[in-house]
Amino acid sequence: MTSPVPYPAFSLRDLGWTRLGGLYEERRELLGMLRFGSRRLLAAIVLTTLVEIATAPLTALCAQRFVHVLTEETGDYLWPAAGFAAAMLLRQAAEIAGLAFRQSMAKTIDGAARSRMRRIALRPAGISHLEDPEFQDVASRAADQGIAWRERSVGMAAVGQVQTGGRMLSAIAMGVALAVYFPLLACTLIVLCFVIRSITLRQWLFLENVKDAATPERRKVDFWADLAAGPEAGTELRLFGLAGWVSERRLAAHYAWLADYWRIRRNVLHRQKLSMAITAVCAALALGVPGTAALDGEIDVGTLAFCLVAAWGVFVIANMGNESYDIEYGKTAHHALRQLEGLRPPVTGTRTPAATVATIRFEDVTFTYPGAPRPVLSRLNLTIRPGERLAIVGVNGAGKTTLIKLLAGLYTPTAGRITVDGEDLCTLDPAEWRSRMTALFQDFVRYPLTLRENITLAAPEADASDAELEELLRLGALEPVLASLESGLDTVLWNSGSGGRGLSGGQWQRLAAVRTLYARSHGRRLVVLDEPTAHLDVKAEARFYDEVVGAVRNASVVLISHRLSTVRSADRIVLLDNGRITEDGSHTDLLKRGGDYARLFRLQASRFSDGAAEPDATEREGSESNAAEPEEMRG
Ligand SMILES: Nc1ncnc2c1ncn2[C@@H]1O[C@H](COP(=O)(O)OP(=O)(O)OP(=O)(O)O)[C@@H](O)[C@H]1O
């Protein structure tokens, strides 16, 4: 059998101070998580645990008295019988109430743990950590919602400790009671029960580690499950008849995730023969030693009953209750959370950029995605002049969006630097820098918020009047949409919720453009438009460039588009190819030069040479159209 993680064999070092100290520290930290829960609940948990502890020896004493009264016929057996029943009932009631209290407390602690995780994920100024598989693995462990049969709940681990502590105390108390009559038996049972516990725990933790090693496989299961049940791919899956195929992929991913685990688990189950044998020995000793003493007349029958109940109480040590697993599984989540907290976000700059429209330079910038074999940008040089409209064109995958993300400081160049008015972007406070710019990304987010919030979140610090928002919506050709909304600007744009209203793809894109205009009119000096018209019809696209892009004043505009006809009015166009700028100039200059840009533009035009599209009257270079796009630019 091959296993991705080694089987944890017992070592004497496990009993060393370092290991025990680490264990103590770990448990202390877990207990510290209790501070996120309510004090009242904690008090209730402690109380029910104390009741559980106290009722154990009480049961043994009542049993002893009851049997003694019955056999010796020396008194009233009603009170010991009632005491025994009451102790048992009290114990059951305490267990049930304790479980409810613990679960409630655990949920609060888990909520706090997940909030901490979200804060950690949002903490770095960049986004590269979100794409790092190691970060994803640890984050998924820290926020496990329980796709497996057991949840990794930090909360259950924290409260489980109180319960386990109680159980251990109760078991030791029973051991002490047994030791009054049979000290050697009591010590042997306690030691052997701890051995059984240790073996069982080791085996299950090993299995848990095997499962953890397959976390990337598990993410694939999540992906296929979300795809099958989520709305995003719903249309395509049905159109292409892929429903069955997706189910099969999900199942295949599930097997790929767990096949090794199942195989290794079978092996571990075989190993349990040892702990079963030790358990049998314990049972034989617990029954045999007091039983023989009773037969020899060394103890009376009442004491025999007491000893048997006490021995049963000691067995609690070996009996891995749910809380023991809760602690161990939850510990993994807590450990993952600690790992995440230990990840120091990269040091960022603190300087405040000037509020002017800046000159931005890419100086010999190289960028390689983590783990990628080749750089996307390679010694790239580019200047964005103040107030200019710069268009960046290039085939799919040329690195246009990457360049924009570097500009926004979401990634840091692998080599070279980006400067803003001569200052290295890395030395600027990322939040301050981003408050100077705004962007409309290809994959813009459709926020399930009101129409008003969908616009104003781009400059939350500003005060927006209804008149200003309405004017911007008019500019974005969204007046009819506004008129059709029951609650106007305060309508929630969310067709999955009651009282909400959905928008079409093109309407969402216009709204994203309006958001950009709003940000611009509230102090953003750099406007980035990455494929801003991909969802728009030809008329709306033309209007977008004339009225929306044309409305931007006192700011630099960086525009990315595959539709060359839409970028020709830019002050300057640069062609990105093989990680560098290979052509740079105005539309007219680039056409005259007769390079790749001109070739691609003419290719676009040739698709319409049969008269399918109206030639653009303003274009003097030949037969170009204003709506077509070259196939090669689509990659
Ligand atoms: N997060 C990422 N991790 C690794 N590689 C990436 C990542 N994002 C993009 N890439 C790779 O970087 C290259 C450039 O991608 P980018 O999105 O910048 O291209 P683009 O020019 O904007 O493409 P398109 O025109 O298709 O939008 C591509 O080869 C892509 O596979």
Ligand 1 mean position to 372 CA, how many Å?
Answer: 11
Burial 373-395 (b: 16+ CB within 10 A, else e): eebbbbebebbbeeeebbbbbbb
Query: Three-state DSSP class for 384?
Result: strand
Query: Has residue 193 got a pLDDT over 50?
Result: yes
CA distance 345 to 592: 48
pLDDT at 125: 64
φ, ψ at 458 (rounded to 5°): -75, -20
pLDDT on residue 180: 93
Percent of the chain scored above 70 by pLDDT? 87
Indicate whether 464 pLDDT > 70.
Answer: yes
Sequence-ordered list of residues with C-beta below 8 angstroms from that of 491, at least 6 positions apart, any chain: 450, 451, 485, 500, 501
Q: For residue 480, how far is its CA from the centre of ligand 1 (angstroms)?
A: 36
Distance CA 569, CA 547 (A): 13
* 523 Ramachandran zone, left/alpha/beta (phi>0; psi -120 to 50): left
Please count the other Cβ atoms lying within 10 Å of the Cβ belonging to residue 14.
Answer: 14
Q: For residue 49, how far is its CA from the centre of ligand 1 (angstroms)?
A: 57
Output the CA 560–ligand 1 centroid distance in Å.
14
Nearest CA to ligand 1 atom 2: 369
Residue 558, Cβ density class (10 Å: 0-12 exposed, 13-18 middle, ≥19 buried): buried
Residues 6+ positions from 440 with CB-CB distance below 8 Å: 512, 513, 515, 516, 528, 529, 530, 532
Strand-pairing partners, residue 572, are: 390
Using the structure block, give the residue that is written with the tokens 């044998």. Answer: 277
Q: Is 369 in the pocket of ligand 1 (CB under 6 A)?
A: yes
Q: Is the CB of 372 under 6 A from ligand 1?
A: yes
Task: Decide if pLDDT at 356 tops 80.
Answer: no
User: Strand 572-577 vs strand 389-393: parallel, antiparallel, or unpaired?
Assistant: parallel
| Residue 632 pLDDT level (bands cut at 50, 70, 90) | very low
What's the gap in Å between 537 CA and the centre of ligand 1?
A: 26
User: Which of 18-22, 357-361, 571-575 holds the top average pLDDT?
Assistant: 571-575
What is the pLDDT averaged over residues 117-123? Answer: 75
Decide: 370 in ligand 1 pocket, CB within 6 A. no
State the average pLDDT over residues 171-182. 92
| Mean pLDDT computed over 124-145 | 68
Q: What is the dihedral of CA 84, 87, 93, 96, to 10 degrees?
A: -90
Q: Which residue has the higher pLDDT, 140 or 390?
A: 390
DSSP label of 351: B
Q: Does the beta carbon of 398 lie inside 6 Å of ligand 1?
A: yes
Of 52-66, 123-137, 143-157, 280-294, give the lowest mean pLDDT range. Answer: 143-157
Question: According to the model, what pLDDT value does residue 620 have?
Answer: 36
Q: Measured from the CB, is residue 397 less than 6 Å from ligand 1? A: yes
* CA 606 – ligand 1 centroid, Å: 29
Atom of ligand 1 nearest to the CA of 442: 27
Residue nearest to atom 24 of ligand 1 (CA): 396
Please identify, by atom number, the ligand 1 atom nearest to the C-alpha of residue 403: 18
Cα separation of 263 and 214, whole Å?
Answer: 14
Q: What is the rounded average pLDDT of the residues 479-502?
A: 80
pLDDT for residue 514 is more than 60:
yes
Token pair belonging to 20: 């025990």
Helices (H), 415-543: 430-434, 451-456, 466-475, 479-484, 505-521, 538-543
Q: Which of 402, 406, 411, 633 to mutate to test the pocket of ligand 1 (most atoms within 8 A of CB)?
A: 402
Q: 119's torsion region: left (phi>0), alpha (psi -120 to 50) or beta?
A: alpha
pLDDT at 627 over 90: no
- Residue 1 Cβ contacting ligand 1 at under 6 Å: no
Residue 612 pLDDT: 44
What is the reported pLDDT for 80? 85
Report how far residue 356's alpha carbon sits from residue 155's, in angstroms, rounded to the nearest whole number.
Answer: 50
Of 524, 554, 521, 564, nearest to 388 by C-alpha is 554
Q: How confident is the model at residue 130 (pLDDT cuts 50, 70, 90)?
A: confident
Mean pLDDT, all residues of the chain? 82
Q: How many CB atoms lie within 10 A of CB 497?
A: 10
Q: Is 130 near ligand 1, meaning CB less than 6 Å away?
A: no
DSSP symbol at 476: T
Return the amino acid letter for 144.
D
CA 410–ligand 1 middle distance (angstroms): 14
Q: What is the pLDDT of residues 521-567, one digit of tens each?
A: 888 889 998 888 777 777 777 777 777 777 777 789 999 988 787 78
Q: Does 129 sit in the ligand 1 pocket, CB within 6 Å? A: no
pLDDT for res 346: 64
Q: Tell me which residue of 464, 550, 535 sits closest to 503, measured CA to CA.
A: 535
- Between CA 568 and CA 575, with CA 569 as vertex, the angle to 5 degrees is 40
For residue 347, the model assigns a pLDDT of 63
How would residue 479 be classed by pLDDT, with cut points 50, 70 and 90?
confident
* Measured distance between the N- and C-terminal CA atoms of the chain, rounded to whole angstroms: 47
Rounded Cα gap, residues 161 and 30, in angstroms = 8
Q: How far is the CA of 417 from the centre of ligand 1 (A)?
A: 20
pLDDT digits (tens, 9 = 90+) for 302-352: 899 889 989 998 998 887 777 777 787 777 777 777 777 776 666 666 777
- Segment 194-211 shows an average pLDDT of 85
Mutate to test the pocket of ligand 1, among 401, 406, 528, 581 (most ligand atoms within 8 A of CB): 401
* Ligand 1, atom 9: closest residue by C-alpha: 402
Contact 464, 518 (CB under 8 A): yes
Length of the chain: 635
Amino acid at 526: L
Query: What are the two backbone dihedrals, phi and then psi, of residue 282, each rounded to the nearest 5 degrees?
Result: -60, -45
Comparing C-alpha atoms, which of 581, 588, 527, 514 is closest to residue 554? 527
Range among 176-185, 481-490, 563-572 rated most confident:
176-185
Q: Is the CB of 402 under 6 A from ligand 1?
A: yes
- The pLDDT score that the predictor gives to residue 521 is 84
Atom of ligand 1 nearest to the CA of 576: 21
Which is the closest atom of ligand 1 to the Cα of 562?
25
pLDDT the model gives residue 230: 73
Alpha-helical segments (H) within 296-342 = 301-314, 322-342
Which of residues 286 and 21 earns the better pLDDT score? Answer: 286
In tens, the pLDDT along 398-425 reads 899 999 989 988 888 999 999 988 889 8
Q: Is 579 in the pocket of ligand 1 (CB under 6 A)?
A: no
Give the position, in ligand 1's atom list, of the atom nearest the Cα of 405.
18
Weakest-pLDDT range from 237-246, 342-351, 479-488, 510-519: 342-351
**Cα 512 from Cα 557, distance rounded (Å):** 16
Candidate of 128, 135, 365, 376 to mutate for ligand 1, largest count of ligand atoms within 8 Å of Cβ: 376
Residue 440 DSSP label? E
Cα(407) to centroid of ligand 1, in Å? 15
Indicate the residue type of 452. Answer: R
Q: What are phi and psi of 385, to 5 degrees?
A: -80, 155
Higher-confidence residue of 339 and 55: namely: 55
Q: Which pair of structure tokens corresponds to residue 137?
A: 């693995």
Ligand 1 atom closest to residue 402's alpha carbon, by position in its atom list:
18
Residue 396 CA to ligand 1 center (angstroms) comes to 8
* Mean pLDDT (whole number) for 594-620: 64
Distance 403 CA to ligand 1 centre (A): 10
Residues 6+ apart with CB under 8 A from 459: 438, 518, 519, 522, 523, 524
Residue 78 pLDDT exceeds 50: yes
Ligand 1 and 617: CB distance under 6 A? no
**Centroid of ligand 1 to alpha carbon of 86 (angstroms):** 70
pLDDT in tens, 224-246: 888 887 767 777 777 777 888 88
Question: Which tokens belong to 626?
Answer: 């204003």
- CA–centroid distance, residue 249 to ligand 1 (Å): 26
Q: Hey, what domains does the chain have and what are their CATH numbers?
A: 18-342 (1.20.1560.10), 360-634 (3.40.50.300)
Atom of ligand 1 minimally distant from the CA of 531 = 27
Find out whether 49 and 42 touch, Cβ atoms under 8 Å. no
Amino acid sitting at position 417: R
Cα–Cα distance measured from residue 499 to residue 487, given in angstroms and rounded to the nearest whole number = 10
pLDDT exceeds cutoff 80 at 256: yes
Nearest 5°: the CA angle 244, 250, 252 is 100
- In short, whether 131's Cβ falls inside 6 Å of ligand 1 is yes
